[in-house]
Structure 1
């Protein structure tokens, strides 16, 4: 008997063409997959699939006798549960496309995940990463969609690890480094802890090599490299909030992600005030706000989760 894929078996079932053996195999697959914690972020047309399946399920519910109804309902429910997950992965596997996942650390959270090659990524609060479920081919490419992440890359000869952001690309073979790419900050910073990386703008071919305790920063003016303390720039991994001559606008962004609040500025000039200090992520927010306002002769007000400086 031809070994049908789950997607094709599902179509055959909804058309009433499944043999008893195929039906049993499909139900077993649904039972195995319905509890799986799977999500996919490919460009697959989910709405089209959802509408097609819904229409077929509705037709089957209308046509089947009541004695058969419970089984149809159970399969329909299972399809809906996994529609945006395992089913889409099988569909993409059939077309030969890689499947991707997006993982996000919520506000006030930090998240550590291990990729399929054994590399480890730690996401800072409010950050999100898109990555293949399984790396294939001669490169390993992930995208930091927003925020900050620390990468510990497993060496793989002739298979570089590439981290993309909106406008910069970092290529490594095996190293540890930090990428900060908050969209609101309009700047990307790559800090190397060990090994070395090659950093380039997405639209350029030439790359800049960055070594341990060096930082490449991309702004509208281009890429600049400088000596830094890698320890200071990765303090968030140890639960520290370290600000080194940062604008209050950038400080506010970090606090928003760590304390799940919204910070506004009553005056535009306040955004550009520079601030240097170190706190713990366990410190209460009012302690940090007091230090900021005291150092800069400012005041703040708070209502619910909205803070005005």
Structure 2
């Protein structure tokens, strides 16, 4: 588990805002971080005791419930082995990684970062939402939103979000005390460490911005809320959203293990075209590559098609591109 993400969940727990699954995360990973000074300082002796009692209770509950049940050993990814080893050394919580029982397993969160000299990072969240993460920025989120009441992510830096619509599960971006809540929309959030302000800019749909539980405003396309971190005041203005999202197109873009269909959405936005797929197998192919900022549409398509053993045809009159496999053309 990413330490910063753990700290954010711990703050929610102390404010009685943590969901049941988030509390399970805290119970599962507390022992791994409990020796850290910045974590110890947050908790009173009573709160430390309460969390440890929850840990012991959860372990004994698992033992009591599953005595005599065949246990299936699961494969661990590299990071999973490291956490399991650390937990085994501490002597608590390792059981959660070593055995898989016939019940849902709480998945650990993932954390993505884009740093210099790498370009901006394009990634797809577990729900299918698309994000362009500015270099030097960091986005933390759970590996699955299944079973959660909200789709919550934690941002440090700047990112452009294109959120998949879900009426039943709001999407929440946390940037310190500021929360940006949406159902399905496209917007930019900038919360760079050291900057005096946090800005939220909407390009499509509607978002709600709040400071803890205080509503700062609800904004629609070409509107922006700016929150002054030092003075704790906000201002809502009408702007041209394109001026605040131009960064997504002016730098190189790194595609990390994305499908051709997901990358096509980026090309559609950048070049104002419609991309169709004659073969869904091509659409679902994964690849990793860097998209050069100076590349034109033809160059970008040729590069991605070469990766995916595909070809394309371009109807300029209709601004429509059709992607198909090379075998279909023969």
TM (normalized to structure 2)? 0.48
Q: Distance in 2 between matches of 1:224 and 1:97?
A: 40
Q: How many Å apart are 1:206 and its aligned residue?
A: 2.5
Q: Distance in 1 between matches of 2:135 and 2:99?
A: 32
Tell me if structure 2 keeps the 8 A contact 1:40–1:102. no
| Residue 212 of structure 1, aligned match among 221, 229, 243 | 221
Q: Distance in 2 between matches of 1:98 and 1:89?
A: 14
Tell me the equivalent position of 2:88: 49
Q: Specify the SS of the correspondent of 1:128.
A: strand
Call closer, same or farther: CA 1:228–1:88 in 2, change over 3 Å: farther
TM (normalized to structure 1)? 0.51
Q: How many Å apart are 1:2 and its aligned residue?
A: 3.1
Q: Report the aligned-residue RMSD.
A: 3.6
Q: Does 1:237 align with 2:248?
A: yes
Tell me if structure 1 keeps the 8 A contact 2:224–2:239. yes
Call closer, same or farther: CA 1:101–1:50 in 2, change over 3 Å: farther
Q: Which runs of no fewer than 5 residues in structure 1 stay unpaired?
A: 7-28, 54-82, 242-279, 283-309
1:78-117 matches, cutoff 5 A: 88=97, 97-108=106-117, 109-117=119-127
Tell me if structure 2 keeps the 8 A contact 1:89–1:99. no
Q: Specify the SS of the correspondent of 1:185.
A: coil
Tell me the equivalent position of 2:199: 189
Q: Distance in 2 between matches of 1:47 and 1:127?
A: 28
Equivalent residue pairs, number: 182
Tell me if structure 1 keeps the 8 A contact 2:199–2:225. yes
| Residue 126 of structure 1, aligned match among 121, 136, 144 | 136
Tell me if structure 2 keeps the 8 A contact 1:191–1:216. yes
Tell me if structure 2 keeps the 8 A contact 1:40–1:100. no
Q: Specify the SS of the correspondent of 2:214.
A: coil
Q: Distance in 1 between matches of 2:104 and 2:216?
A: 34
Tell me if structure 1 keeps the 8 A contact 2:120–2:251. no
Q: Which runs of no fewer than 5 residues in structure 2 stay unpaired?
A: 1-67, 253-291, 295-330
Tell me the equivalent position of 2:183: 173
Q: Distance in 1 between matches of 2:84 and 2:216?
A: 36
Q: Specify the SS of the correspondent of 1:183.
A: coil
Q: How many Å apart are 1:201 and its aligned residue?
A: 0.5
Tell me if structure 1 keeps the 8 A contact 2:71–2:99. no
